[in-house]
C-alpha cells in the first residue's frame, strides 16, 4: 500500500522518483537545499507529466492528482514522518555521508533508508549510520518514468526485511527489480554500461569514428534504444566520470579508468544535456 516518501534531491533522478511515486499514490516530499532547485525539480515533473497527457497515456485529472501529492521543502527534518526515504544527491561519498548522518538522527526507527547511488558501495554509505541494516541501494534509471528497471543493492549489513521492503516499494512504482547480493562498486548495470561507454569514448577520442556513428552502431547493431555517448549526455558526463572513477578506485581495473576526453569535458563544463553540450549539442 502507498505510504509516505521523502526524496532527498530534486535533480533529474530525484524528480523522476518523486513523479513515479506520486503517480502510484504515495504522498511525496521532495527536498533540496535551495528553493531554486525545488522549482526546477517541480517544473521537470510538470513537463514530464504533461508529455504523458499529450500522448494520451495520462488524463489531465491524473496529472493534477499526481502533482497534488508532491510537496517541496528545504528542511530535511520533513523526512521524520516518512515510511521511506530515497537519497538522490550528488554522486559523492562525502555528500552522501552528510545526508545519511542527518537521516539517521531524524528518521523514525522503522524508516527504510535507500540510496540511488549508481556506483558507490552501499556498505560505505551505511557505515555512518547506527542502523546499517535499514540501508539499501535502490538504483533507478533515467528517465525514471520511462525506464522499468530498479537495481536493488544489498550492503554487507542490509537486513532481509529491508531488502524485501525495498522490492515492495519499487514494484509498487511499477519497476522490475534485480538484486545485487555482493556489494561491489558499480554493481551490475553501471559496470556493464561503464565498460561499453569507456571503450566508446576511447574510440571517439582516438578518431576511429564519430559520436553519431558509434551510437548508430550500438543502436542498429546491438538493438540499444540509445547509443552509449547519447546515454552519457542524458545522465551527465560528470556522473559517468565519477562512476567510472569510483569503480576504478575499488578494482584497479584499467578498463574503468576515465578516458582523458571525459575528464577534459567535465573541466570544460560540457556535461551533456543539462549544460547544452556534451558529445552532442542541445538547444
Q: What secondary structure does DSSP assign to 151-190, as a single string?
A: EEE--TT--HHHHHHHHHHHHHTT-EEEEE-S--TTTTHH
- pTM (2 d.p.): 0.93
End-to-end CA distance of the chain: 41
The sheet that has 112-115: what strands, in order across it? 70-73, 27-31, 4-8, 84-87, 112-115, 135-140, 149-153, 176-180
% of the chain surpassing 70 pLDDT: 100
149: left (phi over 0), alpha (psi -120 to 50) or beta: beta
**pLDDT at residue 283, as a whole number:** 84
Exposure string (b/e) for 82-99, b if CB count within 10 Å is 16 or more? Answer: bbbbbbbbebeeeebbeb
Residue 71 has pLDDT above 90, yes or no: yes
The C-alpha atoms of residue 191 and residue 184 are separated, in whole angstroms, by 9
Determine how β-strand 27-31 pairs with β-strand 4-8.
parallel
What does residue 70 show for φ and ψ, rounded to 5 degrees?
A: -110, 125
> Could you tell me if 248 and 270 are in contact, meaning their C-beta atoms sit under 8 angstroms apart?
no
DSSP 8-state code for residue 132:
G
Task: Kindly state the average pLDDT of the residues 130-134.
Answer: 98
Residue-range domains of the chain with CATH: 4-180 (3.40.50.720), 190-268 (1.10.1040.50)
Q: What is the pLDDT of residues 222-261, one digit of tens each?
A: 999 999 999 999 989 999 999 999 999 999 999 999 999 9
Q: What is the pLDDT of residues 74-126, one digit of tens each?
A: 999 999 999 999 999 999 999 999 999 999 999 999 999 999 999 999 999 99
CA-based Rg of the chain, rounded to a whole angstrom?
19
Residue 269 has pLDDT above 90, yes or no: yes
Q: What is the pLDDT of residues 30-58, one digit of tens each?
A: 999 999 999 999 999 999 999 999 999 99
The C-alpha atoms of residue 101 and residue 125 are separated, in whole angstroms, by 10
Please give the biggest Cα pair distance in the chain: 55
Q: What is the pLDDT of residues 148-203, one digit of tens each?
A: 999 999 999 999 999 999 999 999 999 999 999 999 999 999 999 999 999 999 99
DSSP 8-state code for residue 81:
G
Band of residue 1 on the pLDDT scale cut at 50, 70, 90 = confident
For 279, the grid coordinates are 558529445
Q: What residues does 136 pair with on adjacent strands?
A: 114
**pLDDT at residue 32, as a whole number:** 98
Amino acid at each position: 500500500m502507498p505510504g509516505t516518501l521523502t526524496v532527498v534531491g530534486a535533480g533529474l533522478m530525484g524528480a523522476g522518483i518523486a513523479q513515479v511515486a506520486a503517480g502510484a499514490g504515495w504522498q511525496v516530499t521532495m527536498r533540496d537545499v535551495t528553493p531554486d532547485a525545488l522549482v526546477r525539480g517541480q517544473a521537470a515533473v510538470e513537463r514530464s507529466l504533461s508529455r504523458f497527457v499529450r500522448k494520451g497515456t495520462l488524463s489531465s485529472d491524473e496529472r493534477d492528482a499526481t502533482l497534488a501529492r508532491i510537496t517541496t521543502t528545504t528542511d530535511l527534518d520533513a523526512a521524520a514522518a516518512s515510511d521511506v526515504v530515497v537519497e538522490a544527491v550528488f554522486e559523492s561519498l562525502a555528500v552522501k555521508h552528510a545526508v545519511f548522518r542527518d537521516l539517521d538522527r531524524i528518521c523514525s526507527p522503522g524508516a527504510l533508508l535507500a540510496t540511488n547511488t549508481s556506483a558507490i558501495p552501499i556498505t560505505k554509505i551505511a557505515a555512518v549510520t547506527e542502523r546499517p541494516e535499514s540501508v539499501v541501494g535502490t538504483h533507478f534509471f533515467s528517465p525514471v518514468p520511462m525506464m522499468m528497471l530498479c537495481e536493488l543493492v544489498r550492503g554487507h549489513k542490509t537486513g532481509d526485511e529491508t531488502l524485501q521492503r525495498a522490492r515492495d516499494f519499487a514494484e509498487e512504482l511499477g519497476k522490475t527489480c534485480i538484486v545485487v547480493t555482493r556489494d561491489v562498486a558499480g554493481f551490475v548495470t553501471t559496470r556493464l554500461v561503464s565498460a561499453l561507454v569507456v571503450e566508446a569514448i576511447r574510440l571517439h577520442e582516438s578518431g576511429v569514428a564519430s559520436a553519431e556513428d558509434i551510437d548508430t552502431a550500438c543502436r542498429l547493431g546491438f538493438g540499444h534504444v540509445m547509443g552509449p555517448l547519447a546515454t552519457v549526455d542524458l545522465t551527465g558526463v560528470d556522473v559517468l566520470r565519477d562512476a567510472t572513477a569510483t569503480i576504478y578506485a575499488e578494482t584497479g581495473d584499467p578498463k574503468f579508468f576515465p578516458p582523458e576526453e571525459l575528464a577534459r569535458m567535465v573541466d570544460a563544463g560540457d556535461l551533456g544535456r543539462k549544460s547544452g553540450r556534451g558529445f552532442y549539442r542541445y538547444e
